[in-house]
Chains A and B, each alone.
Chain A
Amino acid sequence: GAVVSQHPSRVICKSGTSVKIECRSLDFQATTMFWYRQFPKQSLMLMATSNEGSKATYEQGVEKDKFLINHASLTLSTLTVTSAHPEDSSFYICSAREGVATEAFFGQGTRLTVV
């Protein structure tokens, strides 16, 4: 299957700082990217959907000013957690899909710990 690379895999940051997570599609054009958040022992909750060149569509309850999503190219989307707090500590996973393809491919996830 297609490869989606997410970086970094783990990050620890201080409360109040911002953290950027990258999601790259390595061998296909990701016209749509999805960002999910997963709490321990829980399911994945969709945070936002982004289409290349457009503003992201956020799910209800997700603060768009706190979780900035940029999808400026067909191979890269970024999620920036601004002014991070300990409650933002979580596992963040991106997925990418080409056109109207059936499958969305997932990155390996980023474990964010805010101290």
Chain B
Amino acid sequence: GEDVEQSLFLSVREGDSSVINCTYTDSSSTYLYWYKQEPGAGLQLLTYIFSNMDMKQDQRLTVLLNKKDKHLSLRIADTQTGDSAIYFCAESSQGGKLIFGQGTELSVKP
């Protein structure tokens, strides 16, 4: 079945780059997404990538997709304390529903 896996925690220092990794199983996914969730809040769409692309850059965010290995990563350049949150990757599935990973808690230390 469909499954999305992420590492649970990542800790970086302010100013460093953060790389959050994700693997998925459904090779038919059309889009893959990265969402950010701050404590007690809903999800904020950060970026998404179409499955026929291998890279997408949007300001401090870079998404890399290795479709062969079903591996997705999110790189945040110059990480700030305000980037501390939980980051979810998700793959689109049949009917438009999203399958989420378990989330990576990013902690940014000053």
Contact = CB atoms under 8 A, between A and B. Distances in A.
B98 interface: yes
A33 B1 CA distance: 23
Contacts of B99: 46
A67 interface: no
Interface residues of B, number: 19
A44 B100 contact: yes
A46 B98 contact: yes
Given A105-B45, A108-B41, A111-B40, A42 B102 contact: yes
Given A49-B95, A102-B31, A104-B96, A43 B101 contact: yes
Interface string A89-113: 0000101010010111111110100
B65 to A, nearest CB: 15
Contacts of B40: 109, 111
Given A43-B100, A49-B95, A102 B48 contact: yes
Interface of B: 31, 35, 40-45, 48, 88, 95-103
Given A34-B96, A43-B101, A106-B44, 6 more contacts: A93-B42, A102-B31, A106-B42, A106-B43, A109-B40, A111-B40
